[in-house]
Amino acid sequence: MVRGKKNPEQQIAAYILYSKGEKLSPIHLTLKSKFKETAPSLRSVAGWIAEFKLLPDNLAKEDKNFEWHKSQEYPIPWEASQTITQLIDKKSPISVRSVKWLWRVSQSNKNLTSQEIIKIAENYSKREIICLLNNKNIDFSDLNSELGYFNSHTVDKKTLIFKKLCRNNNEIKSNNLWDEK
């Protein structure tokens, strides 16, 4: 039987559920509910979980739920507290990795809106997980340039949107996260 190719979005979703303490069957059911016909098989999910268990504890620790009172244990300075508490949804759990990227992105430009910070930070976090799970370097230049576009103080919003659209149209062929750079 031919094995299917890994789907990064599905693998990230499985990893996040696993890091939150979910077991094989609930992870598989959640993936089936979310991805419908394209969901991975139970056997594939079991293989992914076996790989997740091999990850070093210090790396997997960043995917546990963030607890503000433990900030000193994370790669997040106490000075970030105010920014973080303003950005996170206190009703929903969030990983240490996501909070780390929220902090970093928020420091890159004081002109970013909360929604922009959250979206960019989420993309960095997912990309970092892909690197972790596949043990290879993946290009972050598109995300870095997105921060660069937002960092421009002299260009109006319409120009920024136009530049981003042009950049996206030129990069359609290289948008596969699994391509090695």
pLDDT at res. 109: 79
Statement: residue 8 has pLDDT above 70: yes
Statement: residue 15 has pLDDT above 80: yes
Q: Does 89 fall in a domain?
A: yes
pLDDT at res. 171: 38
- Contact (CB, 8 A) for 63 and 95: yes
Residue type, 51: E
- 84 and 150 within one domain: yes
Q: Does 1 fall in a domain?
A: no
- 134 and 110 within one domain: yes
Is the sign of the CA dihedral 49, 51, 53, 55 positive or negative? negative
The percentage of residues in the chain with a pLDDT greater than 70, rounded to a whole number, is: 79
pTM of the model: 0.72
pLDDT at res. 75: 80
Per residue, the 3-state secondary structure of the chain, as one string, reads CCCCCCCHHHHHHHHHHHHCCCCHHHHHHHHHHHHHHHCCCHHHHHHHHHHHHCCCHHHHHHHCECCHHHHHHCCCCHHHHHHHHHHCCCCCCCEHHHHHHHHHHHHHCCCCCHHHHHHHHHHHHHHHHHHHHHCCCCCCHHHHHHHHHHHCCCCCHHHHHHHHHHHHHHCHHHCCCCCCC
- 145 and 73 within one domain: yes
Task: Return the structure tokens found at 169.
Answer: 């149209």
Q: Please write the tens of the pLDDT for every residue from 128-166.
A: 998 888 888 888 888 888 777 655 544 455 455 544 555
The more confident residue out of 123 and 174 is 123
Per the structure, the count of domains in the chain is 2
Is the sign of the CA dihedral 43, 133, 139, 166 positive or negative? positive
- 90 and 36 within one domain: no
Task: Return the structure tokens found at 52.
Answer: 């997740």
pLDDT at res. 105: 92
Q: Which whole number is the average pLDDT over 100-128?
A: 90
Statement: residue 180 has pLDDT above 60: no
Determine the Cα–Cα distance for residues 159 and 139; give it in Å rounded to an integer: 25
Task: Return the structure tokens found at 124.
Answer: 């960095």
Average model confidence (pLDDT) across the chain: 80
- 132 and 44 within one domain: no
- 82 and 167 within one domain: yes
Domain that holds residue 20: 8-54
Q: Please write the tens of the pLDDT for every residue from 49-70.
A: 999 999 888 778 888 888 888 8
Task: Return the structure tokens found at 57.
Answer: 């504890």
Q: Please write the tens of the pLDDT for every residue from 19-47.
A: 888 999 999 999 999 999 999 999 999 99
The strand pairing partners of 11, in sequence order, are none
Q: Does 14 fall in a domain?
A: yes
